[in-house]
Amino acid sequence: MNYNPFSLSGKTILVTGASSGIGRSIAVECSKMGAHVVITGRNEERLAETQSMLFGDGHISISADIAEEQQVESLVEQLPVLDGVVHCAGVGVRKPAQAIKKSDIDFVFAPNVIAPILLQKHLLKKKRIAKSASIVFIASRAPFAPAVGNAVYSASKGAIIGYAKTLGLELAPKQIRVNCICPAMVWTDLIRRDAETIGESFAEAEARYPLKRFGQPEDVAYLSIYLLSDASQWMTGSCIDITGGGELTLV
């Protein structure tokens, strides 16, 4: 018997921020599990690279800046009915609290909070979410393990967690599940760019994790697959930490 409760065969999954990092990995791994993947991101060239890495047929690539509501509306008009959504697009900035400018808040909150909320609104209004679908937000451990200079990013991820929990309540009557994944440090371009701000070598930071390493994008992708699959049918409103055991390490 070829039984796999984690299969995504026959499901159509939208992944935002799919042009690199965690979003790219989620898209690729979902395609390996049999999903038809719809990928979106701002960078057409990098989005095309992701498209070339997908397994199987029937995938769709749509370039869009989801921080622009008109582009969100255009994106939604092009979408089929979805069995799953992974809200992964996001940015970060590290500054001490006394140096934060409004432009920093706008830069981070536009893609991290406003964009997924408005995208989700249009998906629901246009009836692009199937009954019993699964919605996953890639949040962070940042709101729970504060790091100096990380206030704006932490606040944005805390906001999206609060939104996701409420969304889960509202969509439960339709059997649509909403969950968050809260990773600690994961090897992405965003983390590498923060190296100087962290103020120590990556080797020293990784050594503080019980499993002695940061996460890889695939680690988050595998957890996303569980939440998107029918294996998680009794999960909604959850925030799942994935940390390598490092509950109080840098985020």
Give the tens place of pLDDT for each residue, 107-155: 999 999 999 999 999 999 999 999 999 999 999 999 998 888 999 999 9
pLDDT digits (tens, 9 = 90+) for 149-162: 999 999 999 999 99
Mean pLDDT over residues 32-53, rounded? Answer: 97
What range does the domain containing 134 cover? 12-242
Let me know if residue 250 belongs to a domain: no
Q: Check residue 94 and give its pLDDT.
A: 87
Let me know if residue 30 belongs to a domain: yes
Q: Check residue 246 and give its pLDDT.
A: 79
Task: Assess whether pLDDT exceeds 70 at residue 106.
Answer: yes
Instruction: Determine the Cα–Cα distance for residues 251 and 248; give it in Å rounded to an integer.
Output: 8
Let me know if residue 2 belongs to a domain: no
Higher pLDDT, 247 or 169: 169
Instruction: Determine the Cα–Cα distance for residues 186 and 192; give it in Å rounded to an integer.
Output: 10
Q: Check residue 249 and give its pLDDT.
A: 46
Q: Check residue 138 and give its pLDDT.
A: 98
**108 and 92 Cβ atoms separated by less than 8 Å:** yes
Query: pLDDT-derived band of residue 1, with 50, 70 and 90 as boundaries?
Result: confident
Task: Assess whether pLDDT exceeds 70 at residue 200.
Answer: no
CATH number of the domain that 70 lies in?
3.40.50.720
Task: Assess whether pLDDT exceeds 70 at residue 198.
Answer: no
Let me know if residue 117 belongs to a domain: yes
Q: What is the pTM of this model?
A: 0.94
pLDDT digits (tens, 9 = 90+) for 75-90: 999 999 999 999 998 8
Q: Are strands 239-242 and 36-41 parallel, antiparallel or unpaired?
A: unpaired
E-state strands within the chain: 12-15, 36-41, 60-63, 82-87, 129-138, 177-183, 239-242
Which percentage of the chain shows pLDDT scores above 70? 94
Let me know if residue 73 belongs to a domain: yes
Let me know if residue 6 belongs to a domain: no
Let me know if residue 249 belongs to a domain: no
Residues 6 or more apart in contact with residue 221 via CB below 8 angstroms: 22, 25, 26, 28, 29, 30
Task: Assess whether pLDDT exceeds 90 at residue 103.
Answer: yes
The total domain count for the chain is: 1
pLDDT digits (tens, 9 = 90+) for 144-193: 988 889 999 999 999 999 999 999 999 999 999 999 999 998 988 767 66
**153 and 127 Cβ atoms separated by less than 8 Å:** no
Let me know if residue 173 belongs to a domain: yes
